[in-house]
Amino acid sequence: MTLIALPHRALIGFTGPDWAVFLNGQTSLNTESILQDVLNNTATPLYYGSILTPQGKLICDFFLHPLNAEEAWIEVPEALRDELYNRLNLYKLRAKIKLSKPDARAYAAIGDASGLLPDPRATAIGRTDLYRGYGDFTADTPLDTYIDYRLTYNLADPLADFPKEYLYPIDINLDVLGAIDFKKGCFVGQETTSRMKRRGTIKNRLLPLTHTHPSLPFGAEVLLGDRRAGEILASANGRSLALMRLDRMDGDLTAEGHAVTLSLPDWLKPVVTS
């Protein structure tokens, strides 16, 4: 197992009987259904979701860790924790919950990680080797290893890869990763998100590229001939994540004058090519 500290991620805690009802209206997850799973002892350790603006833009992704029927943690970008903490405290009104900032640190693990929590995205992308952990472990691997894994398997890290409110959650495939419940009731940003999915107006998707150049700058145009085909969001070690136009993926692509190759993962093929 390789254990990797994630200093750019942090936790917000919720204690009280209303944590699931409250988060259900604030996030894209059906947390009331998750609470029922907790009560029935059928819950999984982690769930993946998102927090959106009223206009449907992505504020951040998060991992929900339900500890029991009256306590849960969410893992969010560390740079947004105080802002989210204050915002959620403001919106809780009469909900029977108390918010906290747990000191436990966030970790990613790749490999055989007995005792840690399976990352819910791993199943969605057809992997079984990605985990997360919370506590005070001794990490033995640099963050670059986790970044390489993400770029290889097309997993975005919002705020690390691009600013908040820059994209819609479907742009980075959160619908395919199980981070959006389209059947539950209203939540902040639900109208735009549901309309994009229902009307089939999805024109862009986050897709991985490979190239011989070590890295490409954020915002660099991906070109199909002389036509804009996308933009680079994250890049390292010859791999990039790019927001690509689905109607301009086929052909010779370049970015910053360098040839780039689309490396479409199996888990996205049915969505992108349908």
According to the model, what pLDDT value does residue 141 have?
Answer: 95
Burial of 41 (0-12, 13-18, 19+ CB in 10 A): exposed
Q: Give Rg (Cα) of the chain.
A: 19
- Residues 127, 211, single domain; the answer is no
Number of domains in the chain: 2
State the CATH number of the domain containing residue 124: 3.30.70.1400
Q: What is the pLDDT of residues 68-87, one digit of tens each?
A: 999 999 999 999 999 999 99
E strands, the chain, in order: 2-5, 9-15, 47-52, 58-68, 71-77, 98-100, 105-110, 117-118, 130-135, 204-210, 221-224, 227-236, 239-245, 253-255, 258-262
Write down how long the chain is.
274
According to the model, what pLDDT value does residue 177 have?
Answer: 97
* Last residue of one domain, picked from the residues 107, 142, 177: 142
The answer to whether position 179 is within a domain reads no
The answer to whether position 221 is within a domain reads yes
Residues 6+ apart with CB under 8 A from 186: 25
Query: What's this model's pTM, rounded to 2 decimal places?
Result: 0.95
Q: Which residues constitute the domain of residue 264?
A: 203-272
Q: What is the pLDDT of residues 164-212, one digit of tens each?
A: 999 999 999 999 999 999 998 789 989 988 888 777 778 999 999 999 9
- Residues 135, 210, single domain; the answer is no
Of 9, 8, 1, 5, the closest CA to residue 107 belongs to: 5
The answer to whether position 185 is within a domain reads no
Q: Up-side HSE of residue 121: CA atoms within 13 Å toward CB?
A: 25
* C-alpha span between 107 and 104 (Å, rounded): 10
Asked if 85 contacts 99 with a C-beta cutoff of 8 angstroms, the reply is yes
- Residues 109, 233, single domain; the answer is no
Extract the tokens encoding 235: 């890049």
The answer to whether position 19 is within a domain reads yes
According to the model, what pLDDT value does residue 194 have?
Answer: 86
- Residues 35, 135, single domain; the answer is yes
* Last residue of one domain, picked from the residues 112, 142, 172: 142
According to the model, what pLDDT value does residue 221 have?
Answer: 98
According to the model, what pLDDT value does residue 62 have?
Answer: 98
According to the model, what pLDDT value does residue 198 have?
Answer: 79
- Residues 113, 13, single domain; the answer is yes
Helix (H) or strand (E) holding 84: helix 81-91
State the CATH number of the domain containing residue 243: 2.40.30.110
Low-confidence ranges of the chain (pLDDT < 70): 274
Which of the 8 DSSP states describes residue 141? Answer: B
- Residues 213, 112, single domain; the answer is no
According to the model, what pLDDT value does residue 274 have?
Answer: 59
- Residues 136, 212, single domain; the answer is no
71-77 sheet: strands from edge to edge: 47-52, 58-68, 71-77, 9-15, 98-100
- Residues 137, 207, single domain; the answer is no
- Residues 20, 120, single domain; the answer is yes
What is the number of other CB atoms lying within 10 angstroms of the CB of residue 56? 19
- Residues 133, 236, single domain; the answer is no
